[in-house]
Amino acid sequence: MTGLRYGISDTLVLAKRSLLRIPRQPDLLVGFTVQPILFVLLFVYVFGGAVGLALPPGLTYVDFLIPGIIVQSIVFGGFVTALGLADDLKKGLIDRFRSLPMTRSALLTGRTLGDVVTNSFQLVVMFSVGLLIGFNFSSSVGEVVAGILLLLLIGYAFSWVFAFIGLSSSSPEAANAFGFTILFPITFVSSAFVPVDTMPSWLQPIAEHNPFTYMVNAARALFLGIPAENNVWLALAWTLGIIAVFAPLSAWKYRRVVAQ
Protein backbone atom coordinates (compact mmCIF):
# COMPACT_ATOMS: atom_id res chain seq x y z
CA MET A 1 0.00 0.00 0.00
CA THR A 2 2.91 2.33 0.68
CA GLY A 3 4.23 1.83 -2.86
CA LEU A 4 0.76 2.42 -4.30
CA ARG A 5 0.36 5.60 -2.25
CA TYR A 6 3.72 6.93 -3.44
CA GLY A 7 2.83 6.02 -7.03
CA ILE A 8 -0.44 7.96 -6.84
CA SER A 9 1.29 10.91 -5.19
CA ASP A 10 4.02 11.01 -7.86
CA THR A 11 1.40 10.77 -10.62
CA LEU A 12 -0.55 13.72 -9.21
CA VAL A 13 2.62 15.81 -8.87
CA LEU A 14 3.61 15.21 -12.49
CA ALA A 15 0.05 15.78 -13.68
CA LYS A 16 0.19 19.16 -11.93
CA ARG A 17 3.54 19.85 -13.61
CA SER A 18 1.95 19.15 -16.99
CA LEU A 19 -0.96 21.51 -16.28
CA LEU A 20 1.27 24.30 -14.94
CA ARG A 21 2.97 24.42 -18.31
CA ILE A 22 -0.20 25.80 -19.94
CA PRO A 23 -0.43 29.19 -18.16
CA ARG A 24 3.32 29.57 -18.64
CA GLN A 25 2.93 28.85 -22.37
CA PRO A 26 -0.42 30.42 -23.31
CA ASP A 27 0.05 29.44 -26.96
CA LEU A 28 -0.88 25.89 -25.94
CA LEU A 29 -4.40 27.16 -25.29
CA VAL A 30 -4.80 27.73 -29.03
CA GLY A 31 -5.03 23.99 -29.55
CA PHE A 32 -7.71 23.67 -26.86
CA THR A 33 -9.86 26.66 -27.73
CA VAL A 34 -9.24 28.77 -30.83
CA GLN A 35 -8.51 25.98 -33.31
CA PRO A 36 -11.61 23.84 -32.53
CA ILE A 37 -13.82 26.94 -32.50
CA LEU A 38 -12.50 27.96 -35.94
CA PHE A 39 -13.21 24.46 -37.24
CA VAL A 40 -16.79 24.67 -35.99
CA LEU A 41 -17.46 28.09 -37.49
CA LEU A 42 -15.82 27.29 -40.83
CA PHE A 43 -17.61 23.98 -41.31
CA VAL A 44 -21.01 25.25 -40.18
CA TYR A 45 -21.06 28.52 -42.12
CA VAL A 46 -18.96 27.56 -45.16
CA PHE A 47 -19.79 23.89 -45.78
CA GLY A 48 -22.99 23.53 -43.77
CA GLY A 49 -25.33 24.58 -46.55
CA ALA A 50 -24.00 22.01 -49.01
CA VAL A 51 -23.46 19.12 -46.59
CA GLY A 52 -26.81 19.73 -44.89
CA LEU A 53 -28.61 18.72 -48.10
CA ALA A 54 -27.24 15.18 -47.73
CA LEU A 55 -28.44 14.71 -44.13
CA PRO A 56 -31.58 12.82 -43.11
CA PRO A 57 -34.68 14.98 -42.61
CA GLY A 58 -34.86 16.60 -39.17
CA LEU A 59 -31.09 16.55 -38.59
CA THR A 60 -29.33 19.90 -38.91
CA TYR A 61 -25.68 20.16 -39.85
CA VAL A 62 -24.86 21.81 -36.51
CA ASP A 63 -26.20 18.79 -34.62
CA PHE A 64 -24.40 16.46 -37.04
CA LEU A 65 -21.09 18.33 -36.83
CA ILE A 66 -20.61 19.15 -33.14
CA PRO A 67 -20.09 15.52 -31.94
CA GLY A 68 -17.56 14.97 -34.75
CA ILE A 69 -15.63 18.17 -33.99
CA ILE A 70 -15.60 17.36 -30.27
CA VAL A 71 -14.25 13.84 -30.84
CA GLN A 72 -11.56 15.24 -33.14
CA SER A 73 -10.58 17.89 -30.58
CA ILE A 74 -10.47 15.35 -27.76
CA VAL A 75 -8.31 13.00 -29.82
CA PHE A 76 -5.84 15.72 -30.72
CA GLY A 77 -5.71 16.94 -27.12
CA GLY A 78 -3.02 14.32 -26.51
CA PHE A 79 -0.57 16.38 -28.55
CA VAL A 80 0.38 18.12 -25.30
CA THR A 81 1.69 14.80 -24.00
CA ALA A 82 3.62 14.07 -27.20
CA LEU A 83 5.21 17.51 -27.32
CA GLY A 84 5.95 17.51 -23.59
CA LEU A 85 7.64 14.11 -23.58
CA ALA A 86 9.62 14.91 -26.71
CA ASP A 87 10.73 18.19 -25.12
CA ASP A 88 11.74 16.42 -21.89
CA LEU A 89 13.80 13.97 -23.91
CA LYS A 90 15.48 16.71 -25.89
CA LYS A 91 16.38 18.73 -22.79
CA GLY A 92 17.59 15.72 -20.80
CA LEU A 93 14.90 15.98 -18.13
CA ILE A 94 14.19 12.27 -18.45
CA ASP A 95 17.65 11.61 -17.01
CA ARG A 96 16.88 13.99 -14.15
CA PHE A 97 13.63 12.17 -13.38
CA ARG A 98 15.48 8.85 -13.43
CA SER A 99 17.80 10.09 -10.69
CA LEU A 100 14.95 11.17 -8.40
CA PRO A 101 13.29 8.92 -5.78
CA MET A 102 10.02 8.68 -7.70
CA THR A 103 7.86 6.00 -9.26
CA ARG A 104 9.22 5.41 -12.74
CA SER A 105 5.81 5.10 -14.40
CA ALA A 106 4.58 8.38 -12.86
CA LEU A 107 5.90 10.45 -15.76
CA LEU A 108 3.58 8.69 -18.20
CA THR A 109 0.58 8.33 -15.91
CA GLY A 110 0.92 11.95 -14.79
CA ARG A 111 1.04 13.21 -18.37
CA THR A 112 -2.02 11.23 -19.45
CA LEU A 113 -3.94 12.22 -16.31
CA GLY A 114 -3.19 15.87 -17.06
CA ASP A 115 -4.73 15.36 -20.51
CA VAL A 116 -7.99 14.27 -18.88
CA VAL A 117 -8.16 17.67 -17.14
CA THR A 118 -7.41 19.65 -20.31
CA ASN A 119 -9.91 17.53 -22.27
CA SER A 120 -12.58 18.34 -19.67
CA PHE A 121 -11.85 22.02 -20.24
CA GLN A 122 -12.12 21.47 -23.99
CA LEU A 123 -15.53 19.86 -23.59
CA VAL A 124 -16.84 22.89 -21.70
CA VAL A 125 -15.58 25.24 -24.43
CA MET A 126 -16.88 23.15 -27.33
CA PHE A 127 -20.31 22.49 -25.86
CA SER A 128 -20.66 26.18 -25.03
CA VAL A 129 -19.86 27.18 -28.62
CA GLY A 130 -22.15 24.48 -29.97
CA LEU A 131 -25.09 25.62 -27.85
CA LEU A 132 -24.53 29.22 -28.95
CA ILE A 133 -24.80 28.33 -32.65
CA GLY A 134 -27.82 26.04 -32.30
CA PHE A 135 -26.69 22.62 -31.10
CA ASN A 136 -29.19 20.88 -28.81
CA PHE A 137 -29.10 17.68 -26.79
CA SER A 138 -31.99 15.41 -27.75
CA SER A 139 -31.40 12.52 -25.37
CA SER A 140 -31.74 11.83 -21.65
CA VAL A 141 -29.42 13.22 -18.99
CA GLY A 142 -28.02 9.74 -18.40
CA GLU A 143 -27.12 9.32 -22.07
CA VAL A 144 -25.47 12.75 -22.17
CA VAL A 145 -23.38 11.89 -19.10
CA ALA A 146 -22.45 8.55 -20.67
CA GLY A 147 -21.42 10.35 -23.85
CA ILE A 148 -19.19 12.78 -21.93
CA LEU A 149 -17.53 9.91 -20.03
CA LEU A 150 -16.97 8.06 -23.31
CA LEU A 151 -15.34 11.16 -24.81
CA LEU A 152 -12.99 11.51 -21.84
CA LEU A 153 -12.08 7.83 -22.13
CA ILE A 154 -11.39 8.27 -25.86
CA GLY A 155 -9.14 11.24 -25.08
CA TYR A 156 -7.33 9.22 -22.42
CA ALA A 157 -6.77 6.38 -24.88
CA PHE A 158 -5.23 8.65 -27.50
CA SER A 159 -3.04 10.27 -24.85
CA TRP A 160 -1.24 6.94 -24.70
CA VAL A 161 -0.90 6.96 -28.49
CA PHE A 162 0.68 10.40 -28.30
CA ALA A 163 2.86 9.33 -25.38
CA PHE A 164 4.33 6.62 -27.60
CA ILE A 165 4.77 9.12 -30.44
CA GLY A 166 6.51 11.60 -28.13
CA LEU A 167 8.90 8.99 -26.78
CA SER A 168 9.67 7.77 -30.31
CA SER A 169 10.40 11.24 -31.74
CA SER A 170 13.70 13.08 -31.80
CA SER A 171 12.16 16.50 -31.12
CA PRO A 172 8.82 18.21 -30.40
CA GLU A 173 8.66 19.29 -34.05
CA ALA A 174 9.06 15.70 -35.20
CA ALA A 175 6.39 14.54 -32.75
CA ASN A 176 4.01 17.18 -34.06
CA ALA A 177 4.59 16.26 -37.69
CA PHE A 178 4.44 12.52 -37.03
CA GLY A 179 1.18 12.78 -35.07
CA PHE A 180 -0.58 14.91 -37.67
CA THR A 181 0.58 12.71 -40.53
CA ILE A 182 -0.96 9.64 -38.91
CA LEU A 183 -4.12 10.96 -37.27
CA PHE A 184 -5.24 13.81 -39.52
CA PRO A 185 -6.28 11.55 -42.45
CA ILE A 186 -8.01 9.13 -40.05
CA THR A 187 -10.19 11.87 -38.59
CA PHE A 188 -11.26 13.17 -41.99
CA VAL A 189 -11.89 9.79 -43.64
CA SER A 190 -14.77 9.18 -41.23
CA SER A 191 -18.31 10.29 -40.52
CA ALA A 192 -17.13 13.27 -38.46
CA PHE A 193 -17.77 16.00 -41.03
CA VAL A 194 -19.81 14.46 -43.86
CA PRO A 195 -22.07 11.40 -44.19
CA VAL A 196 -20.12 8.34 -45.30
CA ASP A 197 -22.54 7.64 -48.17
CA THR A 198 -21.48 10.90 -49.87
CA MET A 199 -17.91 9.61 -50.30
CA PRO A 200 -16.65 7.68 -53.36
CA SER A 201 -17.75 4.04 -53.33
CA TRP A 202 -14.18 2.74 -52.92
CA LEU A 203 -13.66 4.97 -49.87
CA GLN A 204 -16.92 4.20 -48.07
CA PRO A 205 -15.87 0.79 -46.63
CA ILE A 206 -12.70 2.36 -45.23
CA ALA A 207 -14.66 5.18 -43.61
CA GLU A 208 -17.38 2.86 -42.29
CA HIS A 209 -14.87 0.62 -40.49
CA ASN A 210 -12.69 3.48 -39.28
CA PRO A 211 -12.63 3.40 -35.44
CA PHE A 212 -13.03 7.17 -35.51
CA THR A 213 -16.39 6.69 -37.28
CA TYR A 214 -17.60 4.37 -34.50
CA MET A 215 -16.56 6.94 -31.88
CA VAL A 216 -18.30 9.83 -33.65
CA ASN A 217 -21.46 7.81 -34.31
CA ALA A 218 -21.52 6.73 -30.66
CA ALA A 219 -21.29 10.36 -29.53
CA ARG A 220 -24.13 11.33 -31.90
CA ALA A 221 -26.29 8.50 -30.61
CA LEU A 222 -25.73 9.43 -26.97
CA PHE A 223 -26.18 13.19 -27.48
CA LEU A 224 -28.89 13.29 -30.15
CA GLY A 225 -30.92 10.21 -29.30
CA ILE A 226 -30.55 8.66 -32.78
CA PRO A 227 -30.35 4.84 -33.11
CA ALA A 228 -27.00 3.69 -31.74
CA GLU A 229 -26.92 0.23 -33.36
CA ASN A 230 -23.55 -1.25 -32.25
CA ASN A 231 -21.59 2.00 -32.41
CA VAL A 232 -21.38 2.61 -28.65
CA TRP A 233 -20.04 -0.86 -27.89
CA LEU A 234 -17.68 -0.82 -30.86
CA ALA A 235 -16.39 2.62 -29.85
CA LEU A 236 -15.83 1.38 -26.29
CA ALA A 237 -14.10 -1.77 -27.56
CA TRP A 238 -11.77 0.25 -29.83
CA THR A 239 -11.00 2.69 -27.01
CA LEU A 240 -10.12 -0.04 -24.52
CA GLY A 241 -8.13 -1.83 -27.23
CA ILE A 242 -6.07 1.30 -27.93
CA ILE A 243 -5.28 1.64 -24.22
CA ALA A 244 -4.41 -2.07 -23.98
CA VAL A 245 -1.95 -1.74 -26.88
CA PHE A 246 -0.39 1.70 -26.46
CA ALA A 247 -0.10 1.90 -22.66
CA PRO A 248 2.25 -1.14 -22.57
CA LEU A 249 4.02 0.09 -25.72
CA SER A 250 4.62 3.49 -24.11
CA ALA A 251 5.88 1.87 -20.91
CA TRP A 252 8.21 -0.36 -22.94
CA LYS A 253 9.52 2.59 -24.95
CA TYR A 254 10.03 4.63 -21.76
CA ARG A 255 12.03 1.79 -20.18
CA ARG A 256 14.23 1.67 -23.25
CA VAL A 257 14.72 5.45 -23.17
CA VAL A 258 15.74 5.58 -19.51
CA ALA A 259 18.02 2.58 -19.95
CA GLN A 260 20.08 4.32 -22.63
Torsion (CA) 148, 150, 152, 155 in degrees, nearest 10? -140
Cα–Cα distance for residue pair 131/149, rounded to 1 Å:
19
Rounded to an integer, what distance in angstroms lies between the CA atom of residue 155 and that of residue 190? 17
**Mean pLDDT, residues 198-227:** 93
Q: Give the closest residue to 62 by CA, choosing from 142, 150, 126, 141.
A: 126
Give the distance between the most distant pair of CA atoms in the chain: 62
Class of residue 36 by CB neighbours under 10 A (exposed 0-12, middle 13-18, buried 19+)? buried
Pick from 234, 183, 188: nearest CA to 207: 188
Q: What is the mean pLDDT of residues 190-207?
A: 91
For the segment 85-103, what is each residue's pLDDT rounded down to a tens digit?
A: 888 888 777 777 777 777 7
Mean pLDDT of the chain: 86
pLDDT of residue 174: 84
Task: Give the pLDDT of residue 201.
Answer: 92
User: What is the model's pTM?
Assistant: 0.91
Range among 80-89, 152-161, 189-198 with highest mean pLDDT value: 152-161
Supply the DSSP string of 144-200, one letter for each residue: HHHHHHHHHHHHHHHHHHHHHHHHH-SSHHHHHHHHHHHHHHHHHSSSSSS-GGGS-
* Other CB atoms within 10 A of residue 121 CB: 15
Split at pLDDT 50, 70, 90, the class of 67 is: very high
pLDDT value of residue 85: 84
Alpha carbons 92 and 159: distance in angstroms, whole number? 22
pLDDT of residue 31: 66
pLDDT confidence of residue 104: 76
